Amino acid sequence: MKSDRVKKGIERAPHRSLMYATGISKSNLERPFIGIVSSFTDLIPGHTGMRDLERFIEKGIHSGGGQSFIYSVPGVCDGISMGHVGMHYSLPTRELIADMIESVTIAHALDGLVLLTNCDKITPGMLIAAGRLNIPSIVVTAGPMMTGNYKNIRRDFVTDTFEAMGQCQAGIIDRKELDRLEMAACPGQGSCQGLFTANTMACVSEAIGMSLPYGGTALAGFAEKRRIAQESGERICELVREDMKPRDIMTPMAFDNAIAIDMALGGSTNTTLHIPAIAHECGIKFGMERFDEISRQVPNISSLKPAGIYYMEDFHFAGGIPAAMQELGSAIHDCPTVSGLTTHQIASQAINYNQDVIRPVGNPVKQEGGIAVLKGNLAPLGSVIKQTAVSEAMRHFRGKARAFNSEEEAMKAIMDKTIQAGDVVVIRYEGPKGGPGMREMLAPTAAIMGMGLGDKVCLITDGRFSGGTRGPCIGHISPEAAAGGPIAAVEDGDTIVIDLDNRSLALEISDEELQERLKTAEHPEPKIQTGWLARYARLVTSANTGAVMSDG
């Protein structure tokens, strides 16, 4: 065992003495050392219930013959950090989390890990660490939040806060109604109720084989989640004995499975950042083009919020990821999982209890999967859009550019009602390097939807979008403006043409004029020039690579 290097031999007497000081018994010193990497915090609703789950994971580890040790990593709530300077720090925490897990795990010679996670950057950060360390690991996500209820109508975070904000600004609802909605939208613990980024990554964790069956969708606070936590604790001990490592599970075919599930469910565009970054740590290289290839092959079979009508609770009770894999059939490769069953074995045991929620491939919601990758002179290295959240009327759009160098400038124009039908809102210098940190643009997109402009206005950015975004919103434009990308050359009044069917995003000017503009484009000063984000901006790569850190 890896832990032998801190507990075996005469020369390790000081090490054992310190471990005895933690309360460990001499007999338990012989057991495999299992780290419970907890992201518990009072700051994030998706994580407030983790103290309970830590107990059940501990029970499982000790039942399975291991010795557990809890240590912690931080988390940022994207919803709370949204729309202000805090959002600069969200995506970069993915790298901090991975680095912290690497540091503590190697320093203390742990034999295996249970990764207790839930929200947007925390889950991919933990999976990046699992791929990097390649020691037996299993992911436990804390589960989705139940929907709220107001006026006997189910409510959710995005529709009833961010989009309601736009409705209030437009005079559709008053401030008292907004106050009532914000109180009802989030009733308790768990990740936000739709297939936003947190729940998309939980589904990806299960589909790729790193969580037990139904672990990605079992609801927060329910006894089922406690059972999954305990079973995961037991199973990690078996994985250590079997020497089953993350790279044995996260293979190229497993990554294709994860993307197929993502496309089938209409998940967050943020997966085009996170899945390639996880693959990078496993020594597997692919870019956002792979998403488009699979999206053309795999239909969208579930109408989940924000693009659709159902919530995570509906999807889970219908049969969850196993039922979705069963419906996708041959689109899912037969791969090993941490459960000891293969994906085909899991799918064969599934039951689809509601074929309105999880449709057969012969009766899909949409013929193509959730994400499309667009290229053109505005995005030579690609850009992404959640095409299942775009109305048919907006799949082909020609509009006039309104260019802004920050989210704040664009948001002010939207709230001041200066954005008109036919506009293309261009937000630049918000990429991984230019942000720095590639902020999410949920506030402006939700405000546009709330004001009734969702079928009349497009938004494009070198930043990114929340998993809760819907409508004609194109992100991850690469290269970004701060790296000299063509989006830096867009001027007010330029014609921009968006064509989802042909996967194109074009600025209607000549190549010669575009190059001349880029030569003279004035680049604003970085928004943050001190602290850790200044270092991050120097090392981070573009969105089309997964925004991974360069070695230099």
121 known member of a binding site = yes
Cα–Cα dist 84/196, whole Å:
20
Bridge pairing between strands 371-376 and 379-386: antiparallel
- Contact partners, residue 252, CB within 8 Å, separation at least 6: 284
For residue 93, give the nearest of 465, 544, 536 by alpha carbon. Answer: 536
462 known member of a binding site = no
- Contact partners, residue 115, CB within 8 Å, separation at least 6: 37, 101, 126, 127, 129, 130, 137, 138, 139, 140
Residue 381 is classified by DSSP as E
Sign of torsion over alpha carbons 186, 187, 191, 195: negative
Residue linked to tokens 């014609």: 495
Give the E-state strand segments of 118-210 in sequence order. Answer: 137-141, 148-150, 153-155
Cα–Cα dist 446/37, whole Å:
34
78 known member of a binding site = yes
Sign of torsion over alpha carbons 320, 80, 176, 444: negative
Sign of torsion over alpha carbons 271, 274, 276, 282: negative
CA 501 to chain centre: 25
C-beta atoms surrounding 532 within 10 Å: 13
3-class DSSP assignment, residue 260: helix
Gap between the terminal Cα atoms of the chain: 33
In this structure, what token pair is assigned to residue 496?
């921009």
Catalytic-residue membership of 466: yes
440 known member of a binding site = yes
Helices marked H in 34-151 — which ranges?
A: 50-63, 78-81, 93-107, 122-133
Pick the catalytic residue: 38, 68, 303, 466?
Answer: 466
For residue 297, give the nearest of 329, 324, 331 by alpha carbon. Answer: 331
Cα–Cα dist 370/294, whole Å:
10
Sign of torsion over alpha carbons 438, 440, 445, 447: negative
User: Cβ(331)–Cβ(300) under 8 Å?
Assistant: no
Q: What share of the chain is helix, strand, coil (3-state, %, to 5)?
A: 45, 15, 40
Cα–Cα dist 476/381, whole Å:
10
User: Cβ(344)–Cβ(443) under 8 Å?
Assistant: no
Annotated catalytic residues are: 466
Task: Please give the annotated binding residues for Mg(2+), written as ranges.
Answer: 78, 120-121, 440
